[in-house]
Structure 1
C-alpha cells in the first residue's frame, strides 16, 4: 500500500512539474502552437505605381483582373459547385471538380477574369446565398471567392512603348522577384512595386474558416507613381510623322528626339522600323539611347565651336578651301567639285564643307578636337540611367591615326546615340551650357507629386561662342542645306548630315554593303532659337533621297510647328537684331543650295 501511495505521489509530482513547464517555461511555445492551429492569413496584392506623362496622362497603370479561387477544405459539394461555375468561368465542370476536391487550402479556378465574368460571378453567388439562406443550408459556393490580381494596362496602346517598357505577363514576377522587364518599368521597378498586405483570420483544425472569428487586415500599399517629362501629344505626333516619313522614303527605320535645352527634359523619343511584313511599327527598344550611328556632318558644329572658343577662328575668318585634301594615304573631298574658294568659317559650316571643316580641325589640333568631343558629351552615357544606354564610340587620343584629324571632325570613325547628339546641340541652344537629359519629371508616393531634381549642368563654351554658332546654324536653314527645316515666323537653326553607314563586309571599303551599294544615315537636328525647343530627326537608309536636308528636315519643320503651337510660344519680334554679327554668305557659298552629301567621301591617294 505504501508503495502504491509512493507511486501516486510521483505521478502527481511529475504532472505538476509538466504543468508548470507548459504554463510557465514553455508557455510561449504552446501559445504559438495554438495560434498556428487556429490562425491563418492570406496575402492582399498591391497595385503597381502608374507611369504618367508630364501632364498626368496615363501611359501605364495597374488594373484589377481578379482570380476566382477556392479553399477546397471549405467546399460543401465539389460536384455541385463545379456544375454551377462551369458556364460562368468557361472551364469544364470535370476540371473544376478536380480542383475543388484537391488537398490544401488553395485552388485557382480561373485567372484574371474580365469585368463581364466578375459581374456574372457576383450575381451567381448572390443568388446561391439567397437560396441557401431560405433553405437554412450552407451555400453551394461556400469556400469559393475572388481575389484581386493587378495586371498592367497601357491606355494608349503602343504609344511610347520603348520608353515605358513592359512587365511580366499577368502581374507575375521574374526569377529575381521583379515585375519590370524593360524600359522605365525595369529602371524604376523598386519604386513602382507596391507592398502587399495581409488579412488574418481564424480557422478550425481542418482549415475551415470560423464563422464570427476575429479578422484583422494589414492594407496593401500601392507603388509610387512616376511622372515622365514626355508630352503624350508630342510623342504621338513624333511617332506619327517619323512613321509616315519612313514609309514615304522607303527607309529601314527612323528616330526622333525632342527636348527642352534649358532643363534637359525629353519631350518625346520615338523609334520606328519596318517589320518583317513591311509595316512601319514602333520598336520595342528605345534606339535613340540604345543604338549608335556615325553622325556625319552634324558633328562639324563641335569642331567649329571649339575653334571659336579657343580664339583661333571667328565667324568671318577666311580660309582657302579646295575641293579635296590628301592626308597621308587618304583623300577627303567635298560633295561637289569646285575650284579653291576663299570661304569664311560661316561659309564652311553653312555649305557643310568637309575640307573647310578639316582645315579648321587642323588649326585646332587633335588634342583640342578630342577634348571638345568629350566636353560636348560624346563617348559617355548621358547619365539618363535608361536600361542598356550606349555610351557611343570615340577613339582614345592615343589611338588616333594620321588620318583621324580628317575623319573624326566630319563625323567619321565615331558613333553616337541620337540623344547624345541632340544634347550636344543643346549646348549651342542653351548659351554654351550642357544640361544632362532627363526623363523623370516627378514622383508621387501617395502624399502629392514631388518634382524631380534639376539636371546636372556644366559650361562647355562661352555665351559668345554659342551665340555665334547659333547665328551660323540659322543661316544653314535660311540660306544653306537645311532650308526645308524652316518654320514660318520662327528662327530655326540646325545642321544637315548624310553619312555612310559602316557595313563591314568589304575589306577594301568598309562602307560598301553586300548588295553592292552604300547605305546612308540621313539626319537633321537643331532648335528654335529663343523657344527652348530642340529636335533631332534621323532616317536609316532612305531610298528616295539620301540627303538629310531633303528627308529629315521636313519632319523637323512640321514637328517644331506642332510643338510651338502646343506650348503657345509666340514668334520673336521680327525687328529683333542678331545678338552676334556673322558675315553674309559669300556668292560662291550661296550658290550651293543642295545638301553637302555624305561626309564619308574618302579614297586612297
Structure 2
C-alpha cells in the first residue's frame, strides 16, 4: 500500500511539474506571439520606415555654370564636371574587405585581381592609391584621424569617380559633385575675365559682372542606396532637374584681343614703357572689340580674383587729346569754326600764369584746325577766350569725361572731373588741353567715337547676348544713344583730326587708309611725388572717310615721350591689323581739307 501511495505521489509531482512547465511555455508562447503581433502590426511599419529612411539619400544635382564666349563663339571660360572624393576615417578603420566569389561579385574588393591581405585604413588606401594618383601612405594619413569627413582629393574627373564607385566602398568613400572652372587662353583677358571662388561664385571681372546670369539652379534626386552605396533600381521617389547657367557672349573678338595684347607687349619692350593699354571700339555699335593691357595675369588665378584689369581702372590725364572736346564745345556754341584764323605765339601769360607750347616757335598763323594739328596749348587758350568755365565743364561732361561708362565693369574707375566752381586760375585753362582732370581709356575712346559717329554718343557694350540653357538667345541692349554735338560740328572735328593724322603720317600712318587722330602727352606725378612721370596716348578713327573703328593706345613712361611718336605707331599697327582682318575697303582720296595755315 505504501508503495502504491508513493507511486501516486510521484506521478502527481510529475504531473504538477508538467502542468507548470506547460503553463510557462504557454505564457512564453503568448508573449512571443504578442511581441510578434506587435512587431508585425504595430512596430513593423515604423521599423520598415526607419530602415528605408536610413537607406534613403537626397543627392544634389549641381547646376553647371554658363560659358563665357567671344563674339564668334570661341569659349573663353567654361565649367567641367568634377568630383571631390571624401573619406570616412571612422568607417575606414573598421573596414573588412569582402573576398570576391561567384556569390559576392561585384560587391567585393580585390587588388590587381588578387585578394587583399590587409584590412582597415591600409586596405582602403591600397584600393584608392592607383585611382587617385596618390601614395597609399598619403591617403592613409588622411584616413587615420577621427571623425567621418576627410577630403582625399579635389577636382577628380568623372572617369576616376566611376572607377572608385566600382570599389563598392559605400559608407567609407564617396564623392561630392563640383565644377572646375577652366580658362583655355591663359593670360588672355586674364584680369578682365576675373575668376570664381571656392563656391563657384564670380568674384572679379566678367565672372562677377555676369554672376547672376552665369549661375544655374541646382536640382536633386531622392533614392535608396544599397550596401555598396549604389542606387537601388526603382527606388527614386522624387527628383528635380538642375538648370544650368546661361552662356554669355562678349563683344570682344578673341583674335583681335590676342593681337592687341601682343602689339602692346612688343611696344612695352621697344619703348621701355612701364605699362600699356589698348582699346578697340566699333563706331557703328559701341561694341568693345578689344580691351587689353600689358599685365600678365592668368584668368581664374588668385591675382585675377583680386586685381582689376588695368584697362578698366587705370586713370590718367589725357593731355592734348582733350583739345578735341574743347573745340567741340567752341564749335557747338558757335564761338568759332575750324577755319578761323589765329596768330599764335609759343607762350601766353594770363592772370599771372604762363602757358607754353611743347616746342619753341615764332608767331604762327594757324587756323583753329592748324591749332589742333600743331597741338598748340596757347592757340587753344586764345580760341577759348569767350568760352566760360561752366561751358568748359559742360562739354567735358557731355563727351563722357568723369562719367561712369555703360559697361558697369567691377572696379571701373570713372576718373575725376571737379566742378568748374572748384577750379583755380590755372586749372580753368589747363582743362582746355587735357590736364587738370583724369579719365580712363574706355571713356577716352568713347569720347572720340562721338566725332566718328556724327556727333552721337553710343553706349559702349561688352556683353553681346545671353543664351539660356534651353537654347533661347537674347540680345543685350546697352542703352540709348545721345547727341553730344551737331553733325556739322563732328564733321569739322573729323576733318581737323585727319590733318593731325597727316602730320604724323610718317610715324603713324595706315597704308591705304585715311586716318583721323589726336595725340596726347601729359606730365603726371611719379613715384617720387614730383611731375617726373609721363603719359603718352594716341587715339585714331579709321578709316576717316567711312569710320569703322576707334583705336586708343596709352603708354606710361615710354622712351620717346611724345604720344604721336610712341603710342601713335602702336595705334597704327593695330589699325592696319583691323583693316586686313575685317577686309575694310581702301579709302578714297581726301579732297576737302580745311586749311591749317593762313
Q: What TM-score does the superposition give when structure 1 sets the normalisation length?
A: 0.79
The 3 A distance-change label for structure 1 pair 290 and 210 is closer
Rounded Cα–Cα distance in structure 2 between residues aligned with 1:31 and 1:318:
100
Rounded Cα–Cα distance in structure 2 between residues aligned with 1:520 and 1:387:
27
Q: Deviations over 1:498-532 (max 9, x none)?
A: 111123856xxx41xxxxxx321111102112142
SS at structure 1 position matched to 2:195: coil
Rounded Cα–Cα distance in structure 2 between residues aligned with 1:163 and 1:50:
15
> Per-residue deviation at 1:449?
2.4
Residue of structure 2 aligned with 1:233, choices 251, 255, 264: 255
2:308–2:411 Cα contact (<8 Å) kept: no
> Per-residue deviation at 1:67?
2.5
> Per-residue deviation at 1:164?
0.9
The 3 A distance-change label for structure 1 pair 95 and 404 is closer
Partner of 1:159: 188
Question: Structure 2 unaligned runs (5+)?
Answer: 1-37, 98-119, 298-302
> Per-residue deviation at 1:144?
4.0
> Per-residue deviation at 1:97?
5.1
Question: Structure 1 unaligned runs (5+)?
Answer: 1-18, 24-28, 129-138, 276-280, 512-517, 588-605
> Per-residue deviation at 1:367?
1.7
Partner of 2:387: 364
1:225–1:445 Cα contact (<8 Å) kept: yes
Q: Which moved more, 1:342-351 or 1:41-50?
A: 41-50
Query: Is 1:474–2:490 an aligned residue pair?
Result: no
Residue of structure 2 aligned with 1:536, choices 538, 548, 552: 552
> Per-residue deviation at 1:210?
7.5
1:476–1:483 Cα contact (<8 Å) kept: no
Q: What TM-score does the superposition give when structure 2 sets the normalisation length?
A: 0.80
Where do residues 177-576 of structure 1 align in structure 2 (5 Å cutoff)? 179-202=201-224, 211-212=232-233, 214-215=235-236, 216-273=238-295, 284-446=307-469, 447-478=471-502, 480-481=503-504, 483-503=506-526, 505=528, 510-511=530-531, 518-528=532-542, 529=544, 530-543=546-559, 545-574=560-589
SS at structure 1 position matched to 2:564: helix
The 3 A distance-change label for structure 1 pair 504 and 246 is closer
> Per-residue deviation at 1:33?
7.7
> Per-residue deviation at 1:167?
1.4
Q: Deviations over 1:348-379 (max 9, x none)?
A: 00000110011122232222111100100011
Rounded Cα–Cα distance in structure 2 between residues aligned with 1:325 and 1:535:
33
SS at structure 2 position matched to 1:527: strand
The alignment of Structure 1 onto Structure 2 pairs a total of residues equal to: 522
Where do residues 137-176 of structure 1 align in structure 2 (5 Å cutoff)? 139=168, 144-168=173-197, 172-173=198-199
2:279–2:292 Cα contact (<8 Å) kept: yes
The 3 A distance-change label for structure 1 pair 250 and 143 is same
Rounded Cα–Cα distance in structure 2 between residues aligned with 1:140 and 1:235:
49
SS at structure 2 position matched to 1:391: coil
1:523–1:549 Cα contact (<8 Å) kept: yes
Partner of 1:53: 70
The 3 A distance-change label for structure 1 pair 32 and 492 is farther
SS at structure 2 position matched to 1:237: helix
Q: Which moved more, 1:247-256 or 1:158-167?
A: 158-167
Bigger radius of gyration, 1 or 2? 2
> Per-residue deviation at 1:329?
2.9
Rounded Cα–Cα distance in structure 1 between residues aligned with 2:184 and 2:447:
34
Residue of structure 2 aligned with 1:42, choices 50, 59, 71: 59
